Amino acid sequence: MMALTMLAKSIIFASMAVPVMAQTISDQIATHARAAQQAERQNDFHTAVSEYERVAKLLPQNAEVLSNLGVALYFDHDLERSTAVFHQAIMLNPKLFTPHLFSGLAWYRLANPDAAVPELERAVQINPSDTVAHTWLGYAYVAQLRYEAAAKEFDAACKLAPDDVDSWYALGQSYLQIGKDATLQLLRVAPNGARAQQLAGEQLQLRGDRQKALEIYEAALDRRPDIKELRALVIELGGKATGPSDMSPQKTDEEDALYLRAHNAEQKSREAFEHVMQIAPDSYRAHQIQADAFDAAQQPSKAIQEYRTVLRLKPDLPGIHEAIGRNLVRAGSLPEALKEFNAEIEIQPRSASAHMNAGRAMLMMGDDAGAGKMLNSALQMDRPPLETYSLLGKLDLRRNDYRDAISALTHYVSVVKDNSSAYYLLAKAYRGDGDKEKMDHALNLYRATSQDAQERSVAQKELDYLSGRNQIAENSAELKDGVGK
């Protein structure tokens, strides 16, 4: 926030100079312009807005003045109006950098990444050396679930500002998600394939379980003796790589490509997190990586302690209260968890996940009315988590609103097709609604997905575990102690 405030001030002073000097303006305009600048120096953006409005009335076709008004509105927290003023400035002068940048920032804070992205993309085009534009374009891409595009922007920001821990942390998170997505795709394409086993073995090896990793590597090598690095890994861990090495099974291109994508993304994620630990071992991002690692390892007390350290260093950092709340739910402290989710909503009032988690806590506490309000609020926001529909289905079942439960749960399983508990709830809803045929169908899907879960191989279970956790952060966090010594 401080960096953006300083940026705003520099923009305002620079852009006011040319129009004020280039035009023979009245003493009235000069007076209001000086008053606006003085208010900016004092961080009194409400007064600055009033003064810029007076200047804008006298210079209605001046794009720079409108841009300055928009920036003042942005920092005065009038985001929706700021976007309208920035639009006016852009219409007058599309080549101005500032209105594109701050319009994108405003739309992002309004939880509208689809509107933010084109403005931030244009800002990057106008000024490709601006770190802020690259970073926030990356955040907007993340909100759109476009992690590859986000990683490119965070990488550019890291090159422009090598000591910016925020960009490095975001880069690591983006690559982590790319790796998770590739892992999930690999499990769909070849759930029992050698590449899935290899990826699982790598995770076990990273955690120090060499014996289990060796067993999985050997099983993978039996399936794919043509993979040279598998043979090397088996030998490295003390195993015997016997048998021919020239056997090449057919139709493995997609499997190999997905493995490489997951493997490379996880390596880049680890490197980014390690860089944060090296350049700023006591920063709030370093503590966040440590906290994420404890969170991933399902150690809630340690995770909460680290997340609270993050808040002491950066009280308004988005996502931290929510992370504490999730760990408190895991520990069974529901009232305390709800307080954290409400604190997150104070910071991010348009966060669908914060509303969903608050609704979950209320549902677990038996507050059906509060849960319904929170969950339905989440659905009105940008890209609500799919789990919101599952939670609403549970709530509707509790209320005996079977038709609503069927609608919510059907939507959920149309996307998440392997969740046995969701099919069980759906079967209960159909039974309550008196539809035996559909109830039987849902029960059959429940049995099938339950059996699939029971029969998953060790490698599949390891990768399922990985896809829902921050294993990369956990291993990178170990550097913190080493750097501090």
What whole-number distance in Å separates Cα of residue 53 and Cα of residue 385?
40
How buried is 379 (Cβ within 10 angstroms: 0-12 exposed, 13-18 middle, 19+ buried)?
Answer: middle
In the chain, the domains with their CATH numbers are: 2-144 (1.25.40.10), 191-251 (no CATH), 298-380 (1.25.40.10), 386-468 (1.25.40.10)
| DSSP per-residue letters across 332-355 | T-HHHHHHHHHHHHHH-TT-HHHH
What whole-number distance in Å separates Cα of residue 93 and Cα of residue 25?
21
Residue with the two structure tokens 């086993």: 197
Asked if residues 81 and 97 have their Cβ atoms less than 8 Å apart, the reply is: no
Q: Mean per-residue pLDDT for 87-99?
A: 97
Model confidence at 74: pLDDT above 70: yes
Residue with the two structure tokens 């509303």: 355
Closest-CA residue to 466 (of 199, 276, 268): 199
Model confidence at 125: pLDDT above 70: yes
DSSP annotation of 225? T
Q: For residue 458, give both structure tokens.
A: 């060790």
pLDDT band at 453 (very low <50, low <70, confident <90, very high): low
pTM of this prediction? Answer: 0.85
Average confidence score pLDDT of the chain: 88
pLDDT in tens, 40-72: 889 999 999 999 999 889 899 999 999 999 999
pLDDT, position 40: 86
pLDDT, position 10: 52
Residue 311 backbone phi and psi in degrees, to 5: -65, -35
Q: Which positions ≥6 away from 73 have C-beta within 8 Å? A: 45, 49, 79, 81, 82, 85
Lowest mean pLDDT among 19-23, 198-202, 387-391, 395-399: 19-23
pLDDT in tens, 298-313: 899 999 999 999 999 9
pLDDT in tens, 149-180: 999 999 999 999 999 999 999 999 999 999 99
Model confidence at 11: pLDDT above 70: no
pLDDT, position 467: 54
pLDDT, position 457: 61
pLDDT in tens, 328-341: 999 999 999 999 99
Q: Which positions ≥6 away from 134 have C-beta within 8 Å? A: 124, 153, 154, 156, 157, 160, 167
For 93, left (φ over 0), alpha (ψ -120 to 50), or beta? beta
